[in-house]
Amino acid sequence: MNIALIAHDEKKELMVQFCIAYCGVLSRNNLCATGTTGKMVSEATGLSVQKFLSGSQGGSQQIAARIACNEIDMLLFFRDPLNPKPNEANDMDMLRLCDMHNIPVATNIATAEVLIHGLERGDLDWRNILK
């Protein structure tokens, strides 16, 4: 499965810790991420991560384009709900695209854990059947 990773600055370390904890599951999938998040995850875990531009330079839009082309199977997007972002409209567009293409999304660690456990059990194999 193709899993995209995005984390706002205040949530990057949480994303790294999450990926360390679930390195075994994530290693069996294709990972892509916005630039800084991907670099941090890759360095901390040794996982292979396709890195796009940083989020503020268009990396989120690059991932959104892959979502629009149905090339992403899951999005883990750790958002910071307390600090508004200048590109929040783009984030909402990306979440809308996930809804349109039935792509599972986690915007916090609690939901991400549910999705990762489901992925490990095979609950998301229906994505492969659709392709």
CB atoms within 10 A of CB 62: 17
pLDDT tier at 87, thresholds 50, 70, 90: confident
CB atoms within 10 A of CB 91: 18
User: pLDDT for 2-57, tens place per residue?
Assistant: 999 999 999 999 999 999 999 999 999 999 999 999 999 999 999 999 999 988 88
User: Is the pLDDT assigned to residue 128 strictly greater than 80?
Assistant: no
- Which tokens sit at 110? 């609690």
* Beta carbons of 38 and 51 less than 8 angstroms apart: yes
- The overall average pLDDT reported for the chain is 93
* Beta carbons of 45 and 55 less than 8 angstroms apart: no
Half-sphere exposure of 94 (CA within 13 A, CB side): 27
Q: Which CATH class is domain 2-124?
A: alpha beta
User: Is the pLDDT assigned to residue 68 strictly greater than 80?
Assistant: yes
Amino acid present at 64: A
Q: Where are the beta strands (DSSP E) in 1-131?
A: 2-7, 30-33, 49-51, 74-78, 105-106
Q: Where are the domains of the chain?
A: 2-124
Residue 36 pLDDT: 96
